[in-house]
Amino acid sequence: SFYDPATLDALPAVDAHTKTALGTVHIVDYVVVGQPEMKPQQAFAAPVNLGGQIALLGVTLPPPATVKRGASLPVTLAWQATQTMTIDYNSFVHLLGPDGKLVAQQDKQPQASFLATHLWQPQQVMREVYTLTLPPDAPAGQYQLLAGMYDANGQRLPVQVNGQAAGDVVPVTELVKMPLEVK
């Protein structure tokens, strides 16, 4: 962006051909500096395919002993673009309790909307952290962690595991007999 040095007000950008106002900030490109470590703690035997465009490679979770009732559970997923995308997808992580009901969830646009999925380059791996807050009365037992992606209309990407259709949600992992401690 450009600004007026006298007032420090941002100057609106204008398309040189159409004379259309573009706003005060125009993104020219993104720069990746270095290659951060993207290997998940628990990698899947084979990447899980979502809509032929994105793969889920694996998950990183804190040690089970650190999970407590009423506390936050950070879940880090490693996503990979398998082709150029034209749509921006939202991602989700859901935690189902021992009774199969939703206990906690987080839905969001990856990279906090800064690097929307239509900007991901093929083979680019993105690490995304989700924070699930466990209810203070969460029972001990077996929990199911699910993930997926959906478009602006709420249509989830179909999931394929080893080339076979597997619904529209990825069963990421089970947290068996989660040792939920009273905080």
Which residue reads 């998950």 in tokens? 59
Rounded average pLDDT over 90-96: 95
Which residue reads 């420090």 in tokens? 8
What gap in Å lies between CA 99 and CA 172, rounded to an integer? 18
Q: Please, what sign has the CA dihedral across residues 123, 127, 128, 132?
A: positive
Question: Given this model, what pLDDT does residue 45 score?
Answer: 80
Pairing type for strands 125-133 and 72-81 reads: antiparallel
Question: Given this model, what pLDDT does residue 66 score?
Answer: 63
Rounded average pLDDT over 134-139: 86
Residue type, 152: A
What gap in Å lies between CA 174 and CA 143, rounded to an integer? 6
| Biggest distance spanned by C-alpha atoms of the chain | 64
Average pLDDT, the chain: 82
With 0.85 as the threshold, say if the pTM is over it.
no
